[in-house]
A and B are shown apart, each in its own frame.
Chain A
Amino acid sequence: MRVELNHLSLAYGEKPPLFTDLNLILNDGDFILITGPSGSGKSSLLRLINILHAPIAGFIHIDDLPIDQHEVTRLRRRIGYIQQVPVMLPGTVRENLHLPFRFKTAKDQSAPDDPKMRDSMDGFLLQDVGLADDASQLSVGQKQRLSLIRTMLTRPEVILCDEPTSALDPESKSVVEEWIIRLNTDSNTTILMVSHQDFTPAGVNPQRYILSTNGLSSLSAT
């Protein structure tokens, strides 16, 4: 999937723009890291790409077509989104992992069976979490790992990561980071990660940018 952001500007209401004239291209297999201070609009940028919000100027093309020419629900399914604070719906772990398969857009995909979900959870060091456990009772670290499993089950082509490890304990942090890197290196999944801290993924040379009100500036060595 090719994502092209052209001259994007974003503002909320009457407030001054968070950023203007932002340009970025994501190609298959890219690993892009965007840093910037809190409140600079990093999360908002991810929400724009996931079409949860609309820019005040500029346009987004996906696979060379404006997003308006795509069916948005199908498009969102091709783009995974890992939030800073993981969200679980009321219900069991199994119900939360089955969630993406309840929608019309998933009618040609079957929900994973218990052994497959168990296998994925074990790979994320969640051996002590049961499929019938109440998801709301898990720790933030466990929820974030489940959130990543849930996203992976839909096999997205791009994963947007919004400071996915900032609220995690060291064990969860290393597991989540390791899997994000593995998705990029093993499955050629495009990763766009935003963070207020620098992050050096092992074995990957990410394209680095800093976000400011004037858009993105490249930090990568050329």
Chain B
Amino acid sequence: MTVVDITPAQLLLCLLFVAVAGVASILYKLKLEKDLAWGTVRTFAQLLLMGYVLTYIFQINNVALILLLFVSMVFWAAFTIRSRIKEKSVSFFLPTFVSMVISYTVVAIVVTAVIVQVKPWYTPQYFIPLGGMIMGNSMNAIAVALDRMFSDMNQRRDEIELTLCLGATYQEATGDIFRGSIRAGMIPSINALMTVGLVSLPGMMTGQILSGTDPLLAVKYQIIVMLMLVASTAIGSVIVVSVVRRRCFTRNHQMIV
């Protein structure tokens, strides 16, 4: 089965979709025109750039370059998380970035080396797209979890300080908040497990089918990806929220947010 090529002219036809959204924005005074335009430009630019980078990296197949690309993707994910969170009194970019690099690298290597059994494990055709999916999903989970944690800490400051005064450690004083934050971050991934195949056909599976892969093979890959995403959101959220929560307190268990 051959894949139907898309010419630049066909690609530009897609702008009609954005134009429809832009008209709706103007008609209903949503003030989203600028964001839509900028988002469209960025989508074209970022994906085309990634297309060229991937083509280059596939040809070179150098482990250092592949890992560099992987780490730079994590950097942008951590940067995006930081820009989404309003709380600025605690610096959490570096611990978030380091925690994400460690947890995502471990999950991505387990998937390529142990489950899919690609040789070598860093084969970019597998390692980069799988890593990208891990980051995209986990980034959202971590952003939601951190936002929830900071917001709860501010709203429940009196309760936290009361329990600290009664002799609680900072972990005990924020135990409920910690659990609630992780749950908030993980619920979308768990909901996705419930609805996949019934309500949604995931992008990766759709992409594989469009490119001619046997649907059953595409499904197997998708199952791996879904479970991998649950693991990575859990590991990423737990590590990042734990590390950032620690930074919200001094070593004397004083709250500094």
Chain A interfacial positions (CB closer than 8 Å to B): 50-54, 67-68, 72-74, 76-77, 79-81, 83, 85, 87, 89, 99-100, 102-106, 150, 154
Say whether B254 contacts A51, CB under 8 Å: yes
Residues of chain B lying within 8 A (CB to CB) of residue A106: 167
C-alpha spacing A150/B163, complex, angstroms: 11
Residues of chain B lying within 8 A (CB to CB) of residue A76: 164-167
Say whether B167 contacts A52, CB under 8 Å: no
C-alpha spacing A100/B161, complex, angstroms: 13
**Contact size class for B?**
10 to 19
Say whether A102 contacts B172, CB under 8 Å: yes
Contact of A54 among B158, B164, B250 (CB under 8 A): B250
What is the CB-to-nearest-CB distance from B220 to chain A, in angstroms, rounded to a whole number? Answer: 46
A–B pairs, 11, beta carbons within 8 Å: A51-B252, A51-B254, A52-B161, A52-B254, A73-B168, A73-B253, A99-B163, A103-B166, A104-B172, A154-B166, A154-B167
Residues of chain A lying within 8 A (CB to CB) of residue B250: 54
Contact of A52 among B159, B165, B166, B168 (CB under 8 A): B165
Say whether A104 contacts B166, CB under 8 Å: no
Say whether B159 contacts A87, CB under 8 Å: yes
Contact of A68 among B158, B166, B252 (CB under 8 A): B252
B25 CB–A CB distance under 8 Å: no
Say whether B169 contacts A73, CB under 8 Å: yes
Say whether A87 contacts B169, CB under 8 Å: no
What is the CB-to-nearest-CB distance from B252 to chain A, in angstroms, rounded to a whole number? Answer: 5
Say whether A100 contacts B166, CB under 8 Å: yes
Q: Which of B161, B163, B166, B255 has the most CB of A within 10 A?
A: B166
Residues of chain B lying within 8 A (CB to CB) of residue A77: 166-167
What is the CB-to-nearest-CB distance from A105 to chain B, in angstroms, rounded to a whole number? Answer: 4
C-alpha spacing A102/B162, complex, angstroms: 13
Q: Which of A68, A83, A103 has the most CB of B within 10 A?
A: A103
User: Which residue in chain A gives the minimum CB-CB distance to B170?
Assistant: A73
What is the CB-to-nearest-CB distance from B90 to chain A, in angstroms, rounded to a whole number? Answer: 15
Q: Which 8 A-B pairs have CB atoms at the shortest separation, nearest pair first?
A: A77-B167, A105-B167, A100-B166, A81-B165, A87-B162, A87-B158, A103-B168, A72-B252
C-alpha spacing A17/B164, complex, angstroms: 25
C-alpha spacing A53/B252, complex, angstroms: 9
What is the CB-to-nearest-CB distance from B70 to chain A, in angstroms, rounded to a whole number? Answer: 40
Residues of chain A lying within 8 A (CB to CB) of residue B158: 83, 85, 87
What is the CB-to-nearest-CB distance from B166 to chain A, in angstroms, rounded to a whole number? Answer: 4
114-171 of chain B: CB within 8 A of chain A: 158-159, 161-169
Say whether B162 contacts A89, CB under 8 Å: yes
Residues of chain A lying within 8 A (CB to CB) of residue B169: 73, 103-105
C-alpha spacing A54/B253, complex, angstroms: 11
Residues of chain B lying within 8 A (CB to CB) of residue A89: 159, 162-163
Residues of chain A lying within 8 A (CB to CB) of residue B168: 73, 102-103, 105
What is the CB-to-nearest-CB distance from B248 to chain A, in angstroms, rounded to a whole number? Answer: 14
